[in-house]
Amino acid sequence: METDFTVMLEYGDGEREASPLDTVVLWLGKLGITVAVIFLHLSTSAILVVHLLRQILCVLLQGTVRPEQTWNQRAFFRNHHMKLQTVVIGTLSPISTLRVTQSFPSPMN
């Protein structure tokens, strides 16, 4: 049994069927967003780990650390991460309007 997929693009004035090139570009865009968000999460986590290790080394070497400095760094990186994520998703949000409809051949054919 053969299935047929139709990709519809939504515009301000209505919908129209996407060409094969439109479909490929949209799917690659969705894949790009996913990879960018994963990279963003991993890079932010790595930065936080490096700063926490730096704080631990400061405590071991000097014996003191200012608690407000640690909280300020955490807040900075959390806010920085949210801003970057908002920019990535907000810039590419038109791609999220992709809809795939699946139509099956009629059994009468």
Which residue did the predictor score with more confidence, 37 or 106? 37
Q: Is the pLDDT of residue 87 over 80?
A: no
Which residue did the predictor score with more confidence, 93 or 60? 60
Q: Is the pLDDT of residue 20 over 70?
A: yes
d(CA 89, CA 98): 15
pLDDT of residue 100: 45
In a domain, 109, yes or no: no
- Collapsed DSSP state (helix, strand, coil) of residue 15: strand
Task: Tell whether pTM > 0.85.
Answer: no
* Residues of the domain holding 65: 4-103
Report how many domains make up the chain.
1
